[in-house]
């Protein structure tokens, strides 16, 4: 966890509120504060590791190399993760490695289900899949997983999650009423709903390995109405695609699939370099 990150009780990036004594707002934790501060400077790249694809040792090595290539956040999770023990082992290995490297990069859970909680992480993206057709993915899994998060005492970052397009594991497993990539106005109304529900983070997801990343038009339209942390992922493998998402308002670009290719460090470095000139 970044030791320098101060704790804060402000509700959004653009407003500060002083709560009445005894009626404190839900505090924004150190990881979220760090991400907000960090992305004010530049958009950042998050390395996403699916424990289904890596052994704990491999995951630690890939995370370490991704950080050396400029990734500023490590996300761990996946749509089909069934083995919570495996998740724990991967998170622990990555966390230890990151701590040894003294890189101060947060290791954050990106759960697809109740199996996605690990007490070894710095924080969890506590998300609701807003365009699922199944209430389980909107609030059921969250209720079932909440006790584990509470017991673990890990920081929770409230997040709206929106899935675009079809033919990806995320859209299939999440049983989504998929947002049409060519209709940014539909993404806008969901983003406004997320904002009014108090979700301080929003993830626009095209799905891992998608041939069609979230469009620049959609990112731009959402950015106009949503002032929280904006995460974009799915199918981003080039500096050009990352730059386009950053230019249109993304704060965090998530890279997953690319990390499974040997020699990913080169293209990843190009991606992270391309993000440095966008604020």
Would you tell me which residues interact with ligand 1GP (CB under 6 A)?
Answer: 48, 170, 205, 208-210, 233-236, 254-258
Report the C-alpha gap between 114 and 116 in whole angstroms.
5
Q: Which is nearer to ligand 1GP, 5 or 108 (CB)?
A: 108
Going by their DSSP bridges, the two strands 73-76 and 155-163 should be labelled as unpaired
Q: Which is nearer to ligand 1GP, 80 or 83 (CB)?
A: 80
Q: Which two tokens stand for residue 84?
A: 């919570």
CB 163, min distance to ligand 1GP, A:
9
CB 112, min distance to ligand 1GP, A:
9
Q: Which is nearer to ligand 1GP, 28 or 271 (CB)?
A: 271
Q: Which is nearer to ligand 1GP, 37 or 58 (CB)?
A: 58
- CA torsion 176-182-184-189 (nearest 10°) is -40
CB 257, min distance to ligand 1GP, A:
3
The structure tokens 């993206």 sit at 125
CB 241, min distance to ligand 1GP, A:
10
Report the C-alpha gap between 223 and 157 in whole angstroms.
19
Q: Which residue is nearest to ligand 1GP (CB)?
A: 233
Report the C-alpha gap between 156 and 89 in whole angstroms.
20
Report the C-alpha gap between 273 and 71 in whole angstroms.
10
Report the C-alpha gap between 163 and 193 in whole angstroms.
15
* Phi, psi (degrees; rounded to nearest 5) at 45: -110, 135
CB 28, min distance to ligand 1GP, A:
24
CB–CB of 112/173 below 8 Å?
yes
Report the C-alpha gap between 5 and 105 in whole angstroms.
11
CB 125, min distance to ligand 1GP, A:
11
Q: Which is nearer to ligand 1GP, 59 or 258 (CB)?
A: 258
What's the Cα-to-Cα distance from 275 to each of 37, 44, 70, 106, 248, rounded to whole Å? 16, 7, 10, 19, 12
Q: Which is nearer to ligand 1GP, 33 or 128 (CB)?
A: 128
């Amino acid at each position: 966890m970044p030791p320098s990150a101060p704790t804060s009780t402000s509700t959004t990036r653009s407003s500060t509120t002083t709560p009445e004594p005894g009626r404190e707002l839900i505090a924004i934790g150190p990881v979220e504060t760090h991400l907000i501060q960090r992305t004010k400077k530049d958009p950042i790249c998050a390395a996403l590791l699916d424990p289904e694809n890596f052994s704990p040792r491999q995951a630690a090595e890939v995370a370490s190399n991704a950080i050396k290539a400029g990734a500023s956040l490590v996300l761990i999770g996946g749509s089909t993760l069934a083995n919570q023990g495996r998740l724990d082992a991967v998170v622990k290995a990555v966390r230890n490695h990151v701590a040894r490297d003294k890189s101060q990069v947060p290791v954050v859970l990106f759960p697809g289900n109740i199996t996605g909680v690990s007490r070894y992480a710095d924080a969890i993206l506590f998300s609701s899949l807003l365009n699922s057709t199944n209430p389980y993915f909107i609030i059921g899994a969250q209720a079932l997983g909440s006790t584990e998060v509470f017991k673990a005492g890990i920081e929770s970052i409230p997040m709206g999650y929106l899935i675009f397009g079809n033919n990806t594991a995320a859209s299939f497993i999440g049983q989504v009423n998929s947002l049409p990539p060519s209709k940014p106005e539909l993404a806008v109304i969901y983003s406004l709903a997320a904002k009014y529900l108090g979700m301080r983070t929003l993830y626009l997801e095209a799905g891992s390995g998608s041939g069609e990343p979230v469009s620049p038009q959609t990112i731009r339209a959402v950015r106009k109405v949503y002032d929280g942390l904006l995460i974009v992922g799915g199918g981003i493998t080039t500096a050009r695609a990352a730059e386009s998402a950053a230019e249109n308002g993304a704060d965090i670009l998530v890279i997953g699939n690319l990390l499974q290719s040997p020699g990913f460090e080169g293209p990843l470095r190009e991606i992270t370099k391309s993000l440095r000139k966008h604020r």
